[in-house]
Amino acid sequence: MAHRKGVRSCTQHPISKFVSYEKLSSNLRALITNLESIALPNCIQEALQHPEWRKAVNEEIQALQKNDTWKITKLPQGKRPMGCKWVFNVKYRADGRINRYKARLVAKGFTQTYGIDFQETFAPVAKLNTIRVLLSLAANLDWNLHQLDVKNAFLNGNLEEVYMEIPPGLKLSSSNDLVCKLQKSLYGLKQSPRAWFKRFTKVIKGEEFSQGQSDHTLFIKRSPSGKITVLIVYVDDIIVIGNDEEEISRLKTVISKEFQIKDLEPNLTYFSPSWE
């Protein structure tokens, strides 16, 4: 017969000695305080009752319409539209302060069927080891680090025939047979990351950058004088380093003409890949 083991006691090493609010840095304590104090809306109706969230919803709708993400049409016979929903989040700065309120219209891609609604998938996620190497090179060679953020990155990918229900909160005709025919990718679609990265790669290669083989999110360009410009993309966050400041400035101009971007800092100070 097996004997029960005695209950182990941890009274000699209470967890409060190692984990407590008092032992956190001031920045982290501010971040946690904000996380606990801000409640995220559960639905679009609740969000529209608050000015901050209502503004975020309007900004998202304007971005979708400006990008010609869809056109309203009747649902073709034999086609099935997928659903969509609103997702809300708060984006924080490195010191824990609120950066902005975010509202994102997301397609219910989990209802898609492989071979019918989509084919191949791919997400442009840079390898962390590659990022560490680039940061090390910049530190040792005294290269400047530039950080760019692509607004609504997934909306830049082109799609084939995909239909979606009218988004909640969008005021349109009450006709039941109207749907959105997606012309550009939308967050939540299984093919969205691949469609966005395919277009981004085409633009960067058109500027004579070569794509990395071990990490496909890495792009390198060498000038005739031997100067180097390196770009790496993590979904919609871009890091650019090198010793060719003229080429880096030109590259920023090229990217800003193709996509809506934010040049975050003169030099990278805080890098946190997340949904935008």
Vertex 246 angle, CA 245 and 252, to 5°? 85
pLDDT of 42 above 60: yes
pLDDT of 31 above 70: no
Average pLDDT score over residue span 228-246: 90
Comparison of pLDDT for 221 and 268, the residue scoring more? 221
pLDDT at position 3 is: 54
Strands (DSSP E) found in the chain: 70-74, 84-92, 98-107, 144-150, 158-164, 178-184, 210-211, 218-222, 228-234, 237-242, 261-265
pLDDT at position 276 is: 45
Q: Which two tokens stand for residue 10?
A: 């941890």
Average pLDDT, whole number, for the chain?
Answer: 80
Stretch among 21-25, 49-53, 173-177 having the lowest mean pLDDT: 173-177
Render pLDDT for 180-204 as a digit per residue (tens, 0 to 9): 888 887 887 877 788 888 889 999 9
pLDDT of 241 above 70: yes
Stretch among 50-54, 193-197, 214-218 having the lowest mean pLDDT: 193-197
Q: Which two tokens stand for residue 125?
A: 């996620």
pLDDT at position 211 is: 93
Comparison of pLDDT for 246 and 121, the residue scoring more? 246
pLDDT at position 118 is: 56
221 pLDDT band (50/70/90 cuts)? very high
Average pLDDT score over residue span 24-51: 77
Q: Which of 180, 185, 152, 170 is nearest to 44 (CA)?
A: 170
Residues 6+ apart with CB under 8 A from 48: 54, 57, 169
Contact 55, 102 (CB under 8 A): no
CA distance readout (Å), 174 to 57, 165, 206? 21, 12, 45
pLDDT at position 251 is: 93
Average pLDDT score over residue span 7-26: 62
Comparison of pLDDT for 188 and 255, the residue scoring more? 255
Which strand (E) or helix (H) includes residue 47?
A: helix 44-47
Domain ranges in the chain are: 21-265
Dihedrals φ, ψ of 128, to 5°?
A: -65, -30
**Contacts by 206-215, CB closer than 8 A, 24 or more apart:** 207/251, 207/254, 212/130, 215/126, 215/127, 215/130
3-state SS class at 108 = coil
pLDDT of 236 above 90: no
pLDDT of 33 above 60: yes
Render pLDDT for 116-143 as a digit per residue (tens, 0 to 9): 555 666 778 888 899 899 989 988 999 9
pLDDT of 94 above 70: no
Q: Sign of the CA dihedral 260, 265, 267, 271?
A: negative
Contact 129, 135 (CB under 8 A): no
pLDDT at position 253 is: 92
Q: How many residues does the chain have?
A: 276
pLDDT of 74 above 60: yes
